[in-house]
Amino acid sequence: MINTRVAVAIHILALIASKPQTDLPSDYIAGSVNTNPVVIRRILGMLKKAGLIQTTAGKAGASLTRPPAEISLFDVYQAVEPKDHLFAVHDNPNPHCPVGKGIRSVLDEAFNEAQSALERTLAKETIEDVLHRLLLER
């Protein structure tokens, strides 16, 4: 299951993109997200490891490593979500049961299709798209 890391990471990147000339400390970002700065720093670390942001030692704030139009929501998803699949089939269904013996292959196919659809959808959206829609709502 996707937890809130993806949404928080998108929020962080959109905030950084919306203020490109401003060094935003984690306390400021945490105030916007309404969470603890430790959570923000952990996600910033994931985003940095994935190459989506850069930081400077001894200086507050982060900057995007590429334009917001070149950072897809799928990039963000990959940066902060475990590499496991979104869906998993329970372990050890009963091989002697007519349902149990085939459930894994049936669900694997359906779950793989759903995972692929999610990834395709996220790949079409960018941080710039998010910012654009945010500005339209104002």
Terminal Cα-to-Cα distance of the chain (whole angstroms): 31
Q: Quick one: pLDDT at residue 17?
A: 96
Q: pTM to 2 decimals?
A: 0.85
Any idea of the CA torsion for 48, 53, 56, 59, to the nearest 10 degrees? -110
Query: Along the 138 residues of the chain, how does pLDDT read in single tens digits?
Result: 467 999 999 999 999 999 988 889 999 999 999 999 999 999 999 999 999 999 887 778 899 999 999 999 999 999 998 777 677 788 888 999 999 999 998 998 999 999 899 999 999 999 999 999 998 876
Distance of CA 77 to the CA centre of its chain: 3
Q: Which of 28, 22, 117, 103 has the alpha carbon at shortest distance from 64?
A: 22
Which DSSP helix (H) or strand (E) runs through 63? Answer: strand 62-64
Q: Quick one: pLDDT at residue 70?
A: 98
- Residues 6 or more apart in contact with residue 87 via CB below 8 angstroms: 107, 111, 114, 115
Distance CA 115, CA 93 (A): 22
Q: Quick one: pLDDT at residue 76?
A: 97
Q: Quick one: pLDDT at residue 2?
A: 61
Distance CA 116, CA 84 (A): 13
**Residue extents of the structural domains in the chain:** 5-137
In this structure, which topology does domain 5-137 adopt according to CATH? Answer: Arc Repressor Mutant, subunit A (1.10.10)
Whether 81 contacts 72, CB under 8 Å: no
